[in-house]
Amino acid sequence: MLETTNSGRFQVQEPIPAPVWAVGYALLDYWQAQYPGRITISLDTLYESEFVKLFMIGKADLEAVLLSLQEANYIELHRSVQPYQIVLL
């Protein structure tokens, strides 16, 4: 994550994204720990969560994870009316 520059300083590099299924598995575990018994959470809540900070992923990378989880029928994304929701299946 750090690279030494010619001036002897360090430059922070863009992290290599974690595999989609590793993030997906961690998300399901995080969900159970933070929101026990809930089947829906707000997409904005997830965007602003410690989970996103832990994996150092932006919205685009998180969207890719969520779409993969939706295609595998683990979640549904509801984006017809705000606040947008994620439904755990």
DSSP 8-state symbol, 75: E
- Cα distance between residue 72 and residue 34, in whole Å: 23
User: pLDDT tens, position by position, for the chain (89 residues)?
Assistant: 778 888 888 888 777 778 889 999 999 999 999 999 999 999 999 999 999 988 888 888 899 999 999 999 999 999 998 999 999 99
pLDDT at site 85: 96
pLDDT at site 69: 93
- Cα distance between residue 62 and residue 14, in whole Å: 15
pLDDT at site 45: 93
- Cα distance between residue 29 and residue 16, in whole Å: 22
pLDDT at site 66: 94
Q: Is residue 17 reached through a cis peptide bond, with omega within 30 degrees of 0 on the bond before it?
A: no
Q: Give every CB contact of residue 64 below 8 A, 6+ residues apart in sequence.
A: 20
